[in-house]
Structure 1
């Protein structure tokens, strides 16, 4: 059974120039958690009494997928229908606050926005109360939603259908969305629910869990052979190209023209709560970045392990890079030549509240002065991004005999330094456009500058710091010593 070759998350995501655009269609609802402690048994009935100390309200259903796509840095557009009620208005406000376009988020008068209330004691679920109607959205709502999907102002890179069986993804609407996407060669991924899977005909990837399929076909799927037969039936019956079965702690199995087994990533025994939406979101994100399905499945598997360590919280690209470093598979900082990619990473870092430091230079014949300067720059924040002049840029700045060291080698050496988090190669004579896209919090330059106004990009960054240089240390001096010794 083939297994996917091991690729780091940066190798996959650097293929996209900018933020991948994803259309997420499905059911949105309100998740309401009541959290407290269970102190005693009720004297009036044989049940627990929970003293509630805290409440949490969030957008649930497809909203879980949205948050995880957002954490990965995707540009997400949501297509759904909610009730014209307090719950629906809360969902619209929440998504607007996240910067998510709501032109395809419609309200339907008379419809009740689903609400799921969980009662937890000592972080353990005691009961859940569902207030929902699984009635299909009205035909006029479905028509308006389809028009909103077709009228997206920019082409999307992937369509994710997150079905919670709450009536938004009706059979007719689902088929029309899939047909629209296929005509534009946009991959469609489906997280299925309910018993009518015929509506998913023509999708690119189906991502069910083992229990859902076993319940649908009324067959025990306790072996690889049984899974293979079920996948073949879904592929032929629904015309889907791939089926990815998630098997909880046993990992996942991908079926296409062949079968690929992916062992579960290490979770240190933590709960896999929230792993399903993490896998779905990460898989879709990677496909939107032009990854292969095998690469997407491998990284989705790792993201599930990261989310387990965060109690179901969203995994970020930074988390995945750290995870791969812990596995010993990434020894250096990521090196990028795509401004769009580093812009995407910067956006994620800002969401996490990280202080981004930027500096730039040629870094030809790296010496102690360079290293001390970079260490001091890294101390100014949480993440250091180094802009590296390309070979062509260095020649224009320094003359035809420079650089001494090729840009790929200069980038590799910088990336190996523990103080450097990201390296991005740029072609321009100045890093102004790169700084504009990254929007760092701190900009550092060497102490040979006497005023912040002399630093390129000072008008874009609130905090410019001039760092003292080590006297007698420069590439020009190093070249001179070598020439004199020759």
Structure 2
């Protein structure tokens, strides 16, 4: 079934604030970024000159982060070591406004930490610090105590099993009947160690390799995928089985029914955390009243957004809003639509900007740009991109709101976010017939102008509306705030 725009909005509204209990293996992801320009004289290995080190949260922690990023609430339960990495993980959770009170510190095991070495966005090597030993009876009791405390306010449960020892048969034998008795759906990102213990859950989300491991045969063709999904569904008695298949998308199995979802990512930069995204989005959707196929469609879209970002990332809500024929598109969705416009003989006009505070100057530019062709596409800098261009205090309006505001303007046919400092990559892929910029530019400084003209298009500069600019408005607001503060200070004296 195709999700309509109104149905997508309904699900997103209904899942807002729903509380998901995430239980599983917590991880700290450390990234060493740098450049490789030489080979070591000690051995035939590359030498990375480390330029930056970043920390991210992974495993169950990334599932929790995804839930909150999509508008849900979360209780996160797992174990960490009483070590520097454990303290760093707790700090990273708090920095993302995620709860750390469900973490159980243990002296007998290290915090699971994965260190990735990356040179110019190429993943060179990874090394891990971890223990795969199952929790002791006493440690399980500590975890279970926190689960019982969280259950009364829980709308859905995610079991994030990475095989690091937190998810045990003992724990599952307690959790699943308790959840069933309370009517709480359980969604599982499984590991083959405990696969057959996930009986009666709402969904299991194995990837193709994990499904093959537990069943003992490779899923070489579509017929074997069908066999695997049907077999897992029957053996587990689950409501659904969602097999993720990389570039081939996903396959959802329900009783006597299979639904295939096409992969939506055109460019895959990093698959880290994609499985976390799938199970988190699915759980939140089910908590919000979605049907399994609707939850799968939303999970597919969210995963497609994440794999186009480098590092352990979370999906952007705007990527989900792009479902259901909204005017807000993902890059890949826009390129597909561009082909349809071309087949219809439509002339596509493109312009871009931060559009942080919409004003009359923007409206005039957009109206005049639309008059030049049939379809007006507006590219918007993401929040990260705006910060890079304008400084840490910008944007004033978050990207989701900016996208929706522009999509509501009659002259605008499509809105798309881009994360780079310039829209060059987007323009080269879109190949608009007309590229529009404001009159404060000259032709030589228009990013993407050469690419458009080389493809037979044209660049048009539209004169700006006098005395109308976001920078001017922001400056006036700051001056007024400063004067107001001075006035209040004067009254106090």
TM-score, normalised via structure 1 length: 0.65
Instruction: Quote the residue 2:4 is aligned against.
Output: 7
Name the CA distance, whole Å, in 2 between partners of 1:76 and 1:222: 38
Q: Which of the numbers 100, 103, 124 marks the counterpart of 1:102?
A: 100
What's the secondary structure of 1:14's corresponding residue? Answer: helix
Pair 1:83–1:301, CA change in 2 (3 A): same
> Could you say which residue in structure 1 is the equivalent of 2:305?
306
2:84 corresponds in structure 1 to 86
What is the 5 A alignment of 1:219-234?
Answer: 219-234=217-232
8 Å CA contact 1:354, 1:382 repeated in 2: no
Specify whether residues 196 and 384 from structure 1 end up closer, same or farther in structure 2 by C-alpha distance, changes over 3 A only. closer
Aligned with 1:103: secondary structure? coil
Matches within 5 A, 1:49-448: 49-152=47-150, 154-271=152-269, 273-274=271-272, 275-311=274-310, 313-322=313-322, 324-325=326-327, 326=329, 327=333, 381=397, 417=410
For structure 1, which segment, 274-283 or 49-58, has the greater mean C-alpha deviation from structure 2 after superposition?
274-283
Does the Cα contact within 8 Å between 1:272 and 1:304 map onto a contact in 2? no
Change in 2 beyond 3 A, CA 1:264/1:384: closer
**Contact 2:66 / 2:315 at 8 angstroms: preserved in 1?**
yes
Compared CA separation, residues 267 and 232, structure 1 to 2 (3 A): closer
Seen in structure 2, the aligned counterparts of structure 1 residues 381 and 73 have a Cα distance that, compared at 3 Å, is closer
Q: Which residue of 1 aligns with 2:22?
A: 24
Do 2:250 and 2:263's aligned partners in 1 also have CA atoms closer than 8 Å? no
2:42 to 41, 44, 60: 44
In the aligned structure 1, how far is the partner of 2:212 from the partner of 2:288?
32
Native 8 Å contact 1:356 1:381 kept in 2: yes
3-state SS, counterpart of residue 152 of structure 1: helix
1:280: Cα distance to partner? Answer: 1.8
CA distance in 2, matches of 1:269, 1:415: 28
> 5+ unaligned residues in a row in structure 1: which ranges?
329-352, 358-378, 386-413, 420-461, 464-486
Contact 1:81 1:137 in 2 (8 A): no
Bigger shift: 170-179 or 89-98? 89-98
Residue deviations 1:66-90 (CA, integer Å, cap 9, x gap): 2222211110110111112222222
CA distance in 2, matches of 1:158, 1:69: 11
* 5+ long unaligned stretches in structure 2: 335-353, 359-394, 402-406, 413-480, 483-493
Number of residue pairs matched by the alignment: 349
Query: Could you tell me how far 1:322 is from its partner in structure 2?
Result: 4.2
Task: Check 1:240–1:289 CA distance in 2 against 1; reply closer, same or farther (3 A cut).
Answer: same
Q: Which protein, 1 or 2, shows the higher relative CO under an 8 Å CA cutoff with sep ≥ 6?
A: 1
TM-score of the pair, normalised by structure 2: 0.64
Moved more, 256-265 or 291-300: 256-265
The Cα shift of 1:189 comes to 0.6
Q: More helix per residue: 1 or 2?
A: 2
The root-mean-square deviation of aligned C-alpha atoms, in Å, is 3.2
CA contact (8 A) 1:235 1:243 kept: yes
Give the conservation status (yes or no) of the 8 Å contact 2:192–2:213.
Answer: no
Question: Which SS does the other structure have where 1:119 is aligned?
Answer: strand
SS of the aligned residue for 2:141 comes to: helix
Change (3 A) 1:255 1:111: same
Task: Sort the Cα spacing of 1:166 and 1:383 in 2 relative to 1 into closer, same or farther, 3 A.
Answer: closer
Structure 2: distance between partners of 1:79 and 1:185:
20
Whole-Å separation in 1 of the counterparts to 2:400 and 2:55: 35
| Contact persistence 1:119–1:127 (CA under 8 A) | yes
Does the residue aligned with 1:294 lie in a helix, a strand or coil?
helix
The alignment partner of 1:213 has SS state of: helix
Partner Cα distance (1:198, 1:32) in 2 = 32
Q: Partners in 2 of 1:267 and 1:190 — Cα distance?
A: 24
Question: CA 1:355–1:159 in structure 2 vs 1: closer, same or farther (change >3 Å)?
Answer: farther
C-alpha contact (below 8 Å) 1:356/1:382 kept by paired residues: no
- Partners of 2:264 and 2:300 within 8 A in 1: no
**Aligned-pair distance for 1:210?**
0.5
CA positional deviation for 1:301: 1.1
Q: Contact conserved, 2:77 with 2:143, CA < 8 A, in 1?
A: yes
